[in-house]
Structure 1
Amino acid sequence: MNGKHVFTIAQDDEKKRLDIFLVEKLQHSRNYLKKSIVEGWVRVNGTVVKPKYKLKQKDQITVIIPPVLQPSISPEDIPLDIIFEDQDIIVINKPRGMVVYPAPGNYSGTLLNALLNHTKNLSAKSGLMRPGIVHRLDKDTSGVIVIAKSDIAYMSISKQLKNREVKKVYQTLVWGQVQEDGATITAPIGRHPLKRTKMLVAAKNSRKAITHFSVLERFDEFTLLEVTIETGRTHQ
């Protein structure tokens, strides 16, 4: 729900906090709206107030939701392998080697650059720098990724991911011959203390990661596995 919105406070909404009122009226998170209030995108009777401002009857609230696109994220004509698309979501087969959204070291050639060239309708729920992005895949991982075009879709997918209602299944080729036909690996994964772009199994500053695998095929020097991710840790 980008653009300008104007509300006049009725008696039923009197004494409500400004941020809570806006959460009820707009399809954005409370944190996003609180930040918008602090940054001056929201005004009450023409004045910038705090998120905790208590509304009065006949107050006029003006809200400007800034557009999703920013100069730092440029649309790029990059082909997309679209599996499915409707008014709420886009399901894409992301190729290996493509970063999902711009970040240090990868400001162009990302999936988001391609998406902005494909459509202007992306949910702003995930922030102005990651419109439409609900989840991600690592750069060197290919596979299905779901993009939210509408805010309703973003909230629904986020809830399903949070409640672990989404099953993530991968096929991966690993070095050596895995002897077990299947197993579960439970290990804490955290960021490398020196190489901040890398992750490792560590006891400190880490989070529990659970991975289930089964062998699909064995080769002389490799094993093809089917892997199910129960937790979604970075580089798991």
Structure 2
Amino acid sequence: MVHPPSDPALLPGDPDDEGLETGAGEAPERRVALIDRSLHGVRLDKALVAMAGEFSRNHLQTLIEGGHVWVDDRPATQASRKVSAGQQLVVELVPTPESRAFRPEAMALAIVFEDDALIVVDKPAGMVVHPAAGNWSGTLLNGVLAHHPAAATLPRAGIVHRLDKDTSGLMVIGKTLPAVTALVRAIAAREVQREYQALAHGRVPAQPFRIDAPLARDPQSRVKMAVVGGGKPAQTDVTRVALAEFDEGAVSAVRCKLHTGRTHQIRVHLATRGHTLLSDTLYGGRPGLGLTRQALHAARLGFVHPVDGRPMQFEAAPPADLAQAWQQVIEASEKAP
């Protein structure tokens, strides 16, 4: 067992401001204990489990590596080191990343429209929508919580649909529970219009067509989606805008209209037809036309206002990287014989 010391003056001085961070103005809890004979010779991380059992062993190991643990007033950074009876053990209980994820972070949001019921934003490529492993901060959700504090009372801060990290474009966010509920129902009923611009490898057929193929998690890779029998229904309408030939091969500029909004839907649907998106390395897309991320942008968004019933229509031009690549395809197509 571990026992609290009789002399609180045995606490070490404040550590350097490194390793895991706490929220602004927050001091993490410190626990101090003495190792007794039952833990003599065990690993440091196991001793910490006895001292702070509400935390996972993995997180406690992270605290050790981050310099938040001391043995007899000296930093202890190896989880495998053995502890001895009578030693003083101090741990600074920095919160887990998950516990700090849903917090407001002031950031510039490209707000296209806002009223008392909703916000329409133009999300930049590279921004994650929801906090998750590897991206516990800096997400759109964090920015929404800072911009609209009441979002903390709403499911997912009012975010009713999402875009992939490297996909740019329009998203609608509810500001009240009735608005969120109405928007979720409209999306489920396929009453929200979403149109994307994309650049795809190869010669996409000139005649507009629909891809109707169910999607589910790829059984061979948890980070990918795939067409899977028994998956969720997914339909994408594809219209070719331009086709151009380059030294690296043909590139098609297309507009895609979603009838459903499955994860990676456009990326997977086009890839199954042999038309992976430029620079979409996850699904085999090759770099091209200066792009370093998948060539996909949510360009148009339409829905009925959840409060007053007005038809709402929004458009957002693609960011510079995709705009330049798109223009290259258009110009090369116009010059083709």
Pairwise same-fold verdict (TM > 0.5) = yes
Aligned length: 163
Alignment of 1:24-173 (within 5 A): 71-122=100-151, 124-126=153-155, 130-173=156-199
Distance apart, 1:97 and its partner CA: 1.5
Asked whether 1:216 is paired with 2:241, we answer: yes
Determine the C-alpha separation between the residues in 1 that align with 2:125 and 2:238.
Answer: 21
Distance apart, 1:179 and its partner CA: 2.9
Determine the C-alpha separation between the residues in 2 that align with 1:179 and 1:165.
Answer: 27
Cα distance change, pair 231–191 in 1 and its aligned pair in 2 (3 A): same
Determine the C-alpha separation between the residues in 2 that align with 1:228 and 1:154.
Answer: 23
SS in 1 for 2:153: coil
Structure 2 unmatched ranges of 5 or more: 1-98, 266-337
Determine the C-alpha separation between the residues in 2 that align with 1:219 and 1:97.
Answer: 27
Asked whether 1:234 is paired with 2:243, we answer: no
* Structure with larger RCO (C-alpha < 8 A, sep 6+): 1
Structure 1 unmatched ranges of 5 or more: 1-69
Determine the C-alpha separation between the residues in 2 that align with 1:210 and 1:159.
Answer: 18
Distance apart, 1:124 and its partner CA: 3.4
CA deviations over 1:14-49 (Å, ceiling 9, x no partner):
xxxxxxxxxxxxxxxxxxxxxxxxxxxxxxxxxxxx
Distance apart, 1:150 and its partner CA: 0.8
Structure 1 residue aligned with 2:225, among 192, 196, 199?
199
CA deviations over 1:166-204 (Å, ceiling 9, x no partner):
11111111112213331111112110113212101122x
SS in 1 for 2:125: coil
Determine the C-alpha separation between the residues in 2 that align with 1:73 and 1:181.
Answer: 45
Distance apart, 1:123 and its partner CA: 6.5
Q: Percent identity?
A: 42
Instruction: Tell me which structure has the larger Cα radius of gyration.
Output: 2
Determine the C-alpha separation between the residues in 1 that align with 2:215 and 2:206.
Answer: 22
Point out the structure with the larger helix share: 2
Distance apart, 1:118 and its partner CA: 1.5
Contact 1:123-1:151 at 8 Å conserved across structures: no
Distance apart, 1:125 and its partner CA: 4.1
Q: Which amino acid aligns with 2:240?
A: V
SS in 2 for 1:206: coil
Match of 2:69 in 1: none
SS in 2 for 1:207: coil
Distance apart, 1:90 and its partner CA: 0.8
SS in 2 for 1:165: coil
Q: Which TM-score applies when normalising by structure 1?
A: 0.65
Q: Which TM-score applies when normalising by structure 2?
A: 0.46
Structure 1 stretches of 4+ with a deviation exceeding 3 A read none
Contact 2:201-2:251 at 8 Å conserved across structures: yes
Determine the C-alpha separation between the residues in 2 that align with 1:137 and 1:230.
Answer: 15
